[in-house]
Structure 1
Amino acid sequence: MDSIYTLNNCRITCNKPGSPVYTKISFPVHCGLFTELETEEFIFHFNLNGEIIRARLKSRDWVHPHEWLKRTDGNDWVYYSTGGYTGVFEATGEYYLPNLQYPTNNLLGGRPFARKEVKYLVNHWHEMLVKTYRNLDNCPEEIEMFFQQTISNSPEILAEKASHLFSIIGNRISVLPPDARHVDYNLIPLTISRGCLYKCRFCKVKNNTPFTEQSEKRIDTQLMRLKKFYGLNIKNYNALFLGEHDGLQTSPVLLRRSIQKAYEIFHFADSYINETCIFLFGSVTSLQNCSESDFQKLDILPGKKYINIGLESCDQETLERIGKPLKARQVKEAFHLIQDINEHFSSLEITANFIFDENLPENHYISMLELIRDSQKHVKPKGSIYLSPLKFDSPARKHLFAFNRLKTLSRLPTYLYIIQRL
């Protein structure tokens, strides 16, 4: 049960129950259990480990009361803007646009981190927290403990914790699957393999590491260290990312074992958040190497499984230009296999990525539309298509116009892929 304290001009709600479901709605719905600290100046949210996770100011300078800053486990600040609610949901599948501090392929633009009130909050939230505590008298024991814990989680300590997380899983996750938007990118990363198969020239977010599986022993060590790292706040997680860049290429037995053990060790069945979700990347090769029996065994495991496949293009000239070592025929076969899997397995959803740029050959778009429109007899609710702009950090109205045209013609859910890291 939550407990509410009002001290001076400060209101503290401990263990405030948020939504147990990630909901797509046009006003902010915060999930999980957290503690809310509200003053006349700001609202801060802290997780069950006493780490700041959300913040906003209450002044007139703050653009909109529905817009928030969120701090990730990787210690990035993300500004969630409404975008005026104009086209954001149609473009991303979400009502709020994540604005990131690092270069990404966001076509929708916006520079919230250049605004003085946002910069102030990012740089001074801890000072504001300490000042609030010093202005309080006769704090109850629970509030005294709350402030001691949250103040100890300074920006420097939070940065150290993020580095520790990266050391547990082997490195920072440079890109998360676009389907992770369904849980607002709140997931536990588990590295079951390193690297990817193709090393495409166009890719800006993957590494040059050859594809290698992790051993069962290394995965088990990660699981136990991750459980300790997330501590009390593990109750607020219902999602797992099986990294790195081609989790589907790992042996089927290792993949299933990793899912099952993570589900048990992280106690996902007891999570405050409903419905476990598993996210991973795959490739055309790893998809085609899986048998029907492999998918059947994945399907019966706990949770909803999202597998994102980088198709990029089904035009041979484009594939050669971007340095993807595939034939157009293989891409088309993989696309139709994806549709078959989505139709026959209830807990599996395979999504696909295509690249998007004004300088690509015309046949790239013609051949793409043959797949996402002409080959589909009716509109489907499952199996999203993500269009990934090749240019990073270069919003342009004409690009959005081109995207909207493709989305309108597609018979599959179609969105922009906003690359986000952990």
Structure 2
Amino acid sequence: MPDVTGGPAGARRPGDAARISGLEIRPDRRGLRDFPPVSYPAPDGRCHEIRRGDYTFEVGLDGAVRRIHSRRPDWPEPGGYLRCGLAHRWVYRSPALYGETFALTGRHYLPHVLAGDRWTGWDPWAGPALHEAIRAWDEAAALAAELAPSVSEPALAALLRRVGAHGRAGLERRARRLRRILRAPLPVLPPECARVDYAVLPVILAEGCPSECRFCRFRTGAAFRRRPLEDVRAQAEGLRDLLGPELVNFASVFLGQNDALAAGAAAVVEAAEAVREVLRPREAYHRRPRLFLFADPAAFLQLDDAALEALGALPFEGIHVNVGLESPDPETLARLGKALYPEAAAEVLRRAEAVNRAPGPLEVGLNFLVGSGLPDRHHRRLEAILTAPGRPVPKGAVYLAPLDWPPGSFRELRRTVLSLKARSAWPVFLYPVEPV
């Protein structure tokens, strides 16, 4: 029998910490109920905490690891941590620049994706510490599976079994099951998803993107096609079954892929209501369910007042439409392969400002590119439209996506973003990519 202790004189009550053969388990921890941009790695939602050696694992109610913290002397930074998403993609979140990172991104960290971009000039994945942390999780999960059959306390034994099923092989099985449910990749999430720490339920409403811009790194390889409502509902049911008890930690929905709004406002409303009916986001632990989607400028400009009213009436606390403008300069757009008529950027900006000044949960964010290889006129026109005199916009933001910045150019990129931010009527943030 393994040694199970906890509480005074070894007595344990439900919810007390348990120590079992090298594992310290703190079950059913209650974290933040919203997602404030706190400057410390606070747990959010409901989770379990498992400690082993130099590592602390934040574990979802399904037994899958969500975050890894470490006290190792070679850990990249104090306060930095690893995050693992539903698709089994690992991200290291760096708090190194602290307040300046908050000015850049609206959060207190910069994400470093395994095998991702390295324009910051620093790669925390180059050393062994992060890779060894992932191996440490695998070992802790294997130990939990080994111990579970000999633990007499039913709730603790069940928790150990769930953890034991989610070592690296189990995380990959969950990711494959997610891919089977969606039957399409999730190449990128809108930057607004940072507001819910990327805890979104992904549902594919429309495959592909009508634009297929040449510069895009997130192409899906499929022609644009709207999914029928029955397919959307089946995905929601699959997600509900996949997550099981962990569903309580997901209040927000992402309708993908790269231009869900091109399916039409009526289809978005229909899909959002179907997903809400199946997944019941208002019953989640988090208190403010949100809806996120991408839109091409053409799809956004096709919205009339009735369509905007229907979107704004959806039962979510926030409805976030992210429009990819990329550039206000016609020659740059032609070079990028973005089919957009010259006046469209100004027209989208005017309409987005009108939506963001109106009351209600609907808000529009805009994406532009910034790149050392882009023409000077692109940056001059971008600066001109963002710094034009006007009242501050109360909702929405402009996100600047880095394009072709060479390694080590972060200082120049940071200066570009903060310079525009200081003079813009819109909130301006860097768009660092994090996966599901």
Contact 1:21–1:274 (Cα < 8 Å) also in 2: yes
Check if 1:188 corresponds to 2:201.
yes
Q: Give the one of 37, 44, 59 matched to 1:31.
A: 44
Cα gap change, 1:245 to 1:139, in 2 (>3 Å): same
Contact 1:299–1:345 (Cα < 8 Å) also in 2: no
Query: Which residue pairs with 2:130 in the alignment?
Result: 118
> TM-score, structure 2 length as denominator?
0.91
What displacement does 1:305 show?
0.5
Query: Which residue pairs with 2:17 in the alignment?
Result: 5
User: Partners of 1:159 and 1:199 in 2: how far apart?
Assistant: 30
Q: After superposition, where does 1:46-125 map in structure 2 within 5 Å?
A: 46-104=59-117, 107-125=119-137
What displacement does 1:69 show?
1.0
Contact 2:141–2:167 (Cα < 8 Å) also in 1: no
Q: Give the one of 321, 326, 329 matched to 2:335.
A: 321
Larger relative CO (CA 8 A, sep 6+): 1 or 2? 1
The alignment-based identity, stated in percent, is 24
User: Partners of 2:373 and 2:23 in 1: how far apart?
Assistant: 55
Check if 1:370 corresponds to 2:404.
no
Which range moves more in the overlay, 399-408 or 232-241?
399-408
Q: Give the one of 290, 299, 303 matched to 1:286.
A: 299
Query: Which residue pairs with 2:33 in the alignment?
Result: 20
Contact 1:79–1:100 (Cα < 8 Å) also in 2: yes
Q: Give the one of 161, 169, 182 matched to 1:148.
A: 161
Q: Deviations along 1:364-396, whole A, 9 cap, x unmatched?
A: 12221222111x413334221111111167341
Q: Deviations along 1:93-113, whole A, 9 cap, x unmatched?
A: 101221111324x64343112
Letter in 2 for 1:43: T
Query: Which residue pairs with 1:305 in the alignment?
Result: 319
Cα gap change, 1:348 to 1:208, in 2 (>3 Å): same
Q: Deviations along 1:183-230, whole A, 9 cap, x unmatched?
A: 111111110111111111111112342211111121122121121112
Which range moves more in the overlay, 326-335 or 122-131?
122-131
> TM-score, structure 1 length as denominator?
0.94
What displacement does 1:272 show?
0.2
Letter in 1 for 2:295: G
User: Partners of 2:408 and 2:275 in 1: how far apart?
Assistant: 39
Contact 1:69–1:80 (Cα < 8 Å) also in 2: yes
Check if 1:252 corresponds to 2:260.
no
CA RMSD, Structure 1 to Structure 2 (Å): 2.1
User: Partners of 2:115 and 2:198 in 1: how far apart?
Assistant: 16
Contact 1:342–1:350 (Cα < 8 Å) also in 2: yes
Check if 1:359 corresponds to 2:373.
yes
User: Partners of 2:14 and 2:269 in 1: how far apart?
Assistant: 38
Which range moves more in the overlay, 1-10 or 19-28?
1-10
Which range moves more in the overlay, 331-340 or 376-385?
376-385
Q: After superposition, where does 1:263-274 map in structure 2 within 5 Å?
A: 263-274=276-287
Cα gap change, 1:343 to 1:351, in 2 (>3 Å): same
User: Partners of 1:189 and 1:364 in 2: how far apart?
Assistant: 33
User: Partners of 2:54 and 2:435 in 1: how far apart?
Assistant: 31
Query: Which residue pairs with 2:211 in the alignment?
Result: 198
What displacement does 1:149 show?
1.9
Query: Which residue pairs with 2:140 in the alignment?
Result: 128
User: Partners of 1:176 and 1:67 in 2: how far apart?
Assistant: 22
Letter in 2 for 1:294: A
Cα gap change, 1:230 to 1:130, in 2 (>3 Å): closer
Q: Deviations along 1:99-145, whole A, 9 cap, x unmatched?
A: 111324x6434311222221111133221343477689866332222
What displacement does 1:90 show?
1.1
Query: Which residue pairs with 2:230 in the alignment?
Result: 217
User: Partners of 2:395 and 2:44 in 1: how far apart?
Assistant: 24
Q: Deviations along 1:47-81, whole A, 9 cap, x unmatched?
A: 11111111122233324442211110000111111
Check if 1:414 corresponds to 2:428.
yes
What displacement does 1:400 show?
2.2
User: Partners of 1:10 and 1:164 in 2: how far apart?
Assistant: 29
Check if 1:343 corresponds to 2:357.
yes
User: Partners of 2:113 and 2:359 in 1: how far apart?
Assistant: 35
What displacement does 1:91 show?
1.1
Cα gap change, 1:38 to 1:123, in 2 (>3 Å): closer
Cα gap change, 1:180 to 1:27, in 2 (>3 Å): same
Query: Which residue pairs with 1:166 in the alignment?
Result: 179
Query: Which residue pairs with 2:8 in the alignment?
Result: none
Contact 2:184–2:207 (Cα < 8 Å) also in 1: no
Cα gap change, 1:109 to 1:92, in 2 (>3 Å): farther
Query: Which residue pairs with 2:10 in the alignment?
Result: none
Check if 1:387 corresponds to 2:387.
no
Q: What is the aligned residue count? A: 420
Cα gap change, 1:363 to 1:35, in 2 (>3 Å): same
Q: Give the one of 329, 344, 368 matched to 1:330.
A: 344
Q: Deviations along 1:124-170, whole A, 9 cap, x unmatched?
A: 32213434776898663322222222112221121021011012112
